[in-house]
């Protein structure tokens, strides 16, 4: 079989674009972990910020690890302070302090009552 015939048969195997399922992209990347001191944290990073970190650091795994390490650096502080610190570090890392305030901030939540 020629390459042209192979390509024509392959094209028939592809579904129509109208038949493909489209899933909505969540507005943020959510990470949940427990720090070394036992503090459970949930971090929500807007896709706009996470995508920039991925580009700057190399990939999504490295961006997620970078955010986790920043949270753990100040894990003994309140959740609000951790969030401010992580947002400040993201601004510094991306060298875009003048643009970042217009973007959605990273949110950090804890499931324990005393932060």
Q: What is the pLDDT of residues 5-56, one digit of tens each?
A: 444 444 444 445 455 555 566 789 999 999 998 999 999 999 989 998 999 8
Residue linked to tokens 């499931």: 111
56: number of Cβ within 10 Å: 15
Residue 26, SS3 per DSSP: coil
Residue 111 is given by DSSP the state S
60: number of Cβ within 10 Å: 13
- The whole-angstrom separation of Cα 101 and Cα 81 is 17
- The predicted structure's pLDDT at residue 111: 73
- The predicted structure's pLDDT at residue 83: 96
Contact 27, 47 (CB under 8 A): yes
DSSP for 76-95?
TS-HHHHHHHHHHHHHHHHT
Kindly state the average pLDDT of the residues 69-91.
Answer: 95
77: exposed, middle or buried (Cβ count in 10 Å: 0-12, 13-18, 19+): middle
With a cut of 60, say whether residue 99 has pLDDT above it: no
């Amino acid at each position: 079989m020629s390459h042209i015939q192979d390509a024509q048969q392959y094209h028939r195997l592809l579904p129509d674009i109208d038949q493909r399922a489209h899933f909505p992209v969540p507005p943020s990347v959510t990470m949940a972990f427990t720090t070394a001191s036992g503090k459970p944290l949930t971090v929500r990073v807007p896709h706009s910020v996470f995508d920039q970190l991925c580009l700057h650091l190399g990939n999504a795994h490295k961006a997620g690890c970078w955010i986790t390490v920043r949270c753990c650096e100040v894990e003994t502080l309140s959740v609000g302070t951790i969030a401010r610190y992580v947002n400040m570090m993201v601004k510094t890392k991306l060298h875009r302090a003048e643009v970042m305030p217009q973007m959605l901030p990273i949110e950090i939540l804890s499931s324990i009552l005393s932060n």
